[in-house]
Amino acid sequence: MPRKQSTDAKKARGLQKATGQAYTAALREIRSPRRSLAAELRAAGLAAQADWLEARQAWLVEWNRLSEVVSAAEEARFHAPARLSRPARRGG
């Protein structure tokens, strides 16, 4: 552990000690601005808006994951040998 921890690291260590969750999970929770905004919205009595924000965040995570899968598939197709990437011609 470094001599001087960042403020987020100190908060994460405190959260880890208080809740028993993993340090990296606590750090991720502290550094996630969307989640903290959703928590603030809930605290202000705006649960519907907090749900909307979390749903959009989940959608973006899934969209990014699918985008990476499509990119990997396109990259694999681009680098595939010609006999595998194009269907064989039949007939005359």
13-71: pLDDT as tens digits: 888 888 888 988 888 888 876 556 888 888 899 999 999 998 998 899 899 899 999 98
> How many domains are contained in the chain?
1
Is residue 78 situated within a structural domain? yes
Distance in angstroms (rounded) separating the CA atoms of residues 12 and 23: 6
The model's pTM is 0.43
Structure tokens given for 48: 């519907």
Is residue 3 situated within a structural domain? no
Its domain, for residue 34, covers 8-85
Is residue 68 situated within a structural domain? yes
Is residue 1 situated within a structural domain? no
Of 31, 40, 38, the residue nearest 52 (C-alpha): 38
Is residue 2 situated within a structural domain? no
Neighbours of 83 (CB within 10 A): 8
Is residue 64 situated within a structural domain? yes
